[in-house]
Structure 1
């Protein structure tokens, strides 16, 4: 594909395994973006259903990853992106029409930014359960992993990073371990001094299927424990925070330009849900803008 001069090249990576129905709705939402993606890459993680066929029918590029697990699939997708910005969502994500435009504006406003992430709303949970899931599960993730990583943690259903940032850490991620959370693991590898932003305005719809059974939720907590174990063995949290604080004192804050407001997007048809590489140099962000749900007061 030919890159567009002057346009922010954003390639969307969607890892998927046996999730054709959700994927079709996600790709439909991506097709209605006010800022069209340069390309959509769907990683077929050894699916046995029509995942690959659905992706091709929507015009996405399909890459195959036979090692089952989100870490392997996500890494395979990131490796397939040649330049610009990688936007990542999951097959059950429903990005609003201005999602990519918001990502483009955030990166344009801060050339030193390595990555950005945001939260989500659970579109298929009853209102009360959805609110509780957002408050306790999602905010708990950002608060808890913020302390563990000593930086803003990325959330895989709604995140973006520069290809240059990925190239700096792609040999460090635990892509062959299906028992780690790939997004948190990537956050660890980016490091405690990387410039990562939480954007309150960057949101997507996500499925609440994590909460369908105690077993599903328990599995995610096991993965979280595994992710912490393998990364803290290399760099425990007190070392990460010491490095972060010392770096923040040494480096000046990056100049910041205002993020341009996005024009209103006319909604389309309603969507019915059913390791040695040196990371890129980082500039510490002003503490009070690092993460809205868990502001750094240090």
Structure 2
């Protein structure tokens, strides 16, 4: 393993999530390898989210355009503008709780593979009995990986647990649909970075996530609606059969886009 690890900046989009954000930032404060900086993007919060972020030493960036795509994009811009192209930008959600080696493992993965451009991993729900959390998490994320993987012709990125090189973001920052609040920003990013790039899904790089996505019928329907909307916005030029043909013919593919590390 290389002795010198790349710097990792952390981006957290946030809107009215002060309580969850405090737990997230507490987990970042316990990292074995500290991040270079933490950028919390305040997306028009009406609670104390910004105050919580500053209390933990995070840099607060305000983004007036509503929606996670705009907030995440503003965070990536802020982090990329403060780093070298080979530096790493990690992304999690405000309701994530990160394991203490999260930053270290991300930095080590990119240090070990200089060609790696995107790294992503899954999550597991917290705040419920362990067995139920594992089963529900696997059902939720398994459905996501299967459905979106079929549409993309490779494993999709997962925005709650994502890292990419600053240079890779800068190359696609003007292409992603960052002004559309109904877009799944991680799927959109997968469309723009997932083929022709060296990307990896590491199933053993797991973060904790709040189960809000599956606690109500309205929440589940919202995610389905956004999923179809995200796919439709990239069609017809990126229809599934177009992307699968591109994959199998090698057209425009510079490196494996879906390397998977087995769960350890």
Return the TM-score normalized by structure 1: 0.82
Structural mapping, 1:11-22, within 5 Å: 11-22=9-20
Distance in 2, matches of 1:173 and 1:238, equals 21
The 1:241/1:24 distance shift into structure 2, 3 A limit, reads same
In structure 2, the residue corresponding to 1:139 is in which secondary structure?
helix
In structure 1, the residue corresponding to 2:10 is in which secondary structure?
strand
Gaps of 5+ in 1: 252-281, 294-298
What's 1:42 paired with? Answer: 40
Distance in 2, matches of 1:235 and 1:209, equals 31
In structure 2, the residue corresponding to 1:164 is in which secondary structure?
helix
What's 1:116 paired with? Answer: 119
In structure 2, the residue corresponding to 1:111 is in which secondary structure?
coil
Structural mapping, 1:89-108, within 5 Å: 89-108=92-111
Distance in 2, matches of 1:209 and 1:284, equals 33
Q: Deviations over 1:136-179 (max 9, x none)?
A: 11111112211111222110111100011101111111011111
Kept in 2: contact 1:247–1:284 (CA 8 A): no
69, 72, 78: which one aligns with 2:70: 72
Structural mapping, 1:176-195, within 5 Å: 176-195=179-198
The 1:291/1:102 distance shift into structure 2, 3 A limit, reads closer
CA offset at residue 128 of structure 1?
4.2
Distance in 2, matches of 1:226 and 1:50, equals 32
Deviates more, 1:152-161 or 1:187-196: 187-196
What's 2:137 paired with? Answer: 134
1:210 to 2:182 alignment: no
Kept in 2: contact 1:152–1:196 (CA 8 A): no
In structure 1, the residue corresponding to 2:204 is in which secondary structure?
strand
1:284 to 2:250 alignment: no
Return the TM-score normalized by structure 2: 0.92
Runs of at least 4 residues of structure 1 off by over 6 A? none
The 1:161/1:77 distance shift into structure 2, 3 A limit, reads same
Gaps of 5+ in 2: none
What's 1:272 paired with? Answer: none
Kept in 1: contact 2:31–2:99 (CA 8 A): yes
Kept in 1: contact 2:41–2:72 (CA 8 A): yes
What's 1:263 paired with? Answer: none
In structure 1, the residue corresponding to 2:40 is in which secondary structure?
strand
- C-alpha RMSD of matched pairs (Å): 1.9
What's 1:52 paired with? Answer: 50
In structure 2, the residue corresponding to 1:192 is in which secondary structure?
coil
Kept in 1: contact 2:5–2:111 (CA 8 A): no
Distance in 2, matches of 1:79 and 1:161, equals 12
CA offset at residue 48 of structure 1?
0.4
1:85 to 2:57 alignment: no
Distance in 2, matches of 1:104 and 1:208, equals 27
Q: Deviations over 1:204-258 (max 9, x none)?
A: 000001122100111011010101111123311111111122228x97xxxxxxx
The 1:290/1:245 distance shift into structure 2, 3 A limit, reads farther
What's 1:62 paired with? Answer: 60
Kept in 2: contact 1:151–1:193 (CA 8 A): no
